[in-house]
Homo-oligomer: A and B are copies of this chain.
Amino acid sequence: MEATLSKRDKIVEAALSLFAERGYDGTTVPMIADKAEVGTGTIYRYFENKEALVNALFQDCVKRFNDVVKRDFPDSGSVREQFQHVFHGMVRFAKENIHGFYFVDTHSNARYLDPESRESFRQLMDFFHAYAARGIQQGMIRPLQADVLIAIVFGAFTKVFTLIRAGKLTETPEMLRQIEESCWDAVSVHANKE
């Protein structure tokens, strides 16, 4: 155990922020090496090639996102409580890992993702699908296709966090609370409408 980051960790961190910032194709391997303060060749000691690196990164982020969202999930809570839990999980993950969240969002359909990466992302989505299905069944969530519901909440959330990441917005607990409410209102059934 070192007090300082291992070479591998430095590479991972540098690559993540560059991929998030400039995209996969806009990031060169020497750029990553520079930022990580290692030799170019060192990257190839840890990853077979650039594609293997981006896939390792992607899977790692998805796994961590999965863990955060599912940890302490209130299985027996209400649909509303579960929504809040998931939303807070997203916030927590995005704050701890500001590049990781954006990276996953912008790369989840990328052509260079291998089957394993795609599968890991699909599993994450399955969890949200199942949630949406339960919510609809209980009459709490609007009867739209689960894909659409997920797209609405994730789309809104990621765009907001993109602003935060870009420094164009500073998040406050109150603002996050309001955004959560806003997202809930977007997908929930309203009892009484004028």
A153 to B169, CA, bound (A): 17
CB <8 Å contact, A169 and B148:
yes
Chain A: interface secondary structure? helix
Q: Looking at chain A, what size class is its interface with the partner chain?
A: 35 or more
- A45 within 8 Å of B by Cβ? no
Counted per complex, copies of this chain come to: 2
- A91 within 8 Å of B by Cβ? no
A111 to B27, CA, bound (A): 12
CB <8 Å contact, A191 and B194:
yes
Point out the residues of chain B lying under 8 angstroms from A26, CB to CB: 23-25, 111
Point out the residues of chain B lying under 8 angstroms from A179, CB to CB: 144, 148, 152
Q: List 10 A-B contacts (CB under 8 A).
A: A25-B25, A25-B26, A144-B178, A152-B182, A152-B183, A153-B156, A155-B156, A155-B158, A155-B160, A186-B186
